[in-house]
A = this chain, B = another copy of it.
Amino acid sequence: MTRRIGICTGGGDAPGLNAVIRAFVKCSLKEYDWEVVGIEDAFNGLLDEPRRLMVLDGPSCQGLLHRGGTILGTTNRGDPFGWPSKGGPVDRSQDLADAVREEGLEGIVCIGGDGSQAIALRLMNERGIPMIGVPKTIDNDLSATDYTFGFLSAVEVARDALDRLHTTAESHDRVMFLEVMGRDTGHIALSAGIAGGADIILVPEIPYDPNRLAAKIQQRKALGRPFTLVVVAEGAYPMGMASVAPKERKAEIAASGGAGPLAMTLLRGLVDAEMRCTVLGHIQRGGSPIAFDRILATRFGVGAARLVAEGRWGQMVRLRDNHIEGVALKEAVARQRSVDVNGELVGTARATGIEFGG
């Protein structure tokens, strides 16, 4: 009897999800002769009535390599341990285990971020559903893997936006702000800022002093460069908010219209220059992945199949020092990787004159 393996995608979308699915299906068919069953909208496809599943064969993978998003659909809603219902969240994890058994699934490959992987780990530990993880976060902030797919595609989108803003900033002698993704960590802001020639980069890991930003802007003006490019991560905040608890801080930032507008407001009294802010938003998540991400996603998809073949349930595929390997899911979801404020990359940025405000 053929083995049946489930696969699903959870959390926000990222360029490369479809490439992982494609590689997993292709490898499963070619090397192992498994049947792959796609579960729609994270685990929801197994809990909804009727179930929403699709057998993934060769033809269903055509054109997936370059296609953004996920053909399986994805969602942030529907934790099986806290399933939304009228009377409040209910635990439907046993329903899920029953569905897995009824569908004859040997286990599930779960492509998702730390939230999804934490759920996968509980489903394995508490309900005995075999799980393999594939890391996914556009923010590249999982300490378990050197890179996640989609991150560099997002950086490329932000870099392109900076290239464009640069000419406008220069022509109009303006201070241009670009707010990019990164609620908790500043990896996109840091990489895009270096790549796009930003003068100032604001990240959550380095609370900023508005006066230092103003000084940088004035210094550029004095050197005959009366324009400035500022990249702001969604979660960046001024030193004055450093003592506020994270949750409240995020609320304060949101109340200011976001981290970009907040920084612009704080600078308004300090510098005499026209200022504009662009919030890049969901454009960073979508579209066709760049080559690096297509390759990484393909390696992850094949790597996940290898883990299944070797029966290494409970592991997550990852990239470590240019090699693909397995790591315990438990370890994988444990720690978020922040921007290393004393690391080489921040040091490189500072050495080329980029100001962090702190």
B348 near A291 with CB under 8 A, answer: no
Which of the listed residues A68, A168, A172, A347 has the most CB atoms from chain B within 10 Å of its own CB? A168
A75 to B274, CA, bound (A): 11
Across-interface contacts of A152 in B (CB, < 8 A): 291-292
Report Cα–Cα, A68/B63, bound state, in Å: 12
**Interface presence of A194 (CB below 8 A):** yes
Give residues of chain A (296-331) contacting chain B, Cβ–Cβ below 8 Å.
Answer: 298-299, 301-303, 305, 321-324
CB atoms of A295 and B194 under 8 A apart: yes
In angstroms, Cα B352 to Cα A26, docked, is 5
> Judging by beta carbons under 8 Å apart, are A324 and B302 in contact?
no
A286 at interface by CB-CB < 8 Å: yes
Query: Looking across the interface, which residue of chain B has its beta carbon closest to that of A293?
Result: B195
Partner of A164, one of B31, B286, B294, B321: B286
Contact check, A223 vs B171: say whether CB atoms are below 8 A apart: no
A73-B171, A75-B172 known; A344-B197 Cβ under 8 A: no
A9 to chain B: which residues have CB within 8 Å?
Answer: 171
Q: Pick the contact of A279: B13, B66, B279 (CB < 8 A).
A: B279
Chain A contact residue count (CB 8 A cutoff)? 79
Q: Fill in one digit per residue for A252-266: 1 if any B CB lies within 8 Å of its CB, else 0.
A: 000000000000000
CB contact list, A340-354 vs B, under 8 A:
344-345, 347-348, 351-353
**Copy total for this chain:** 4
Contacts of A161 in B (CB 8 A): 283
Q: Is A282 in contact with B165, judged by CB distance below 8 angstroms?
A: yes
Q: Interface readout for A153-172 with B: 1 if CB under 8 Å, 0 if not?
A: 00111011101111110111
Give, as a whole number of angstroms, the nearest-CB distance from A115 to chain B: 15
Q: Determine if A89 is an interface residue (Cβ-Cβ < 8 Å).
A: no
Q: Are B74 and A283 in contact (CB under 8 A)?
A: no
Within 8 A of B (CB), among A18-34: 22-23, 26-27, 30-31
Convert A71-112 into 0s and 1s, putting 1 for each residue whose CB lies closer than 8 angstroms to a CB of B. Answer: 001110000000000000000000000000000000000000
A4 within 8 A of B: no
Q: State the CA gap A106–B158 with chains docked (Å).
A: 39
Does A216 make an interface contact (CB < 8 A)?
Answer: no
* Whole-angstrom distance between the Cβ of A21 and the nearest chain B Cβ: 12
Q: Which of A140-198 contact B (CB under 8 A)?
A: 146, 152, 155-157, 159-161, 163-168, 170-173, 176, 191-192, 194-197
Question: Which residues of the other chain, B, contact A192 by a CB distance below 8 angstroms?
Answer: 291
What residues of B have a CB within 8 angstroms of the CB of A191 in the complex? 291, 295
Chain A residues close to B by CB (< 8 Å): 9, 12-13, 17, 22-23, 26-27, 30-31, 58, 65-70, 73-75, 146, 152, 155-157, 159-161, 163-168, 170-173, 176, 191-192, 194-197, 223, 276-283, 285-287, 290-292, 294-295, 298-299, 301-303, 305, 321-324, 344-345, 347-348, 351-353
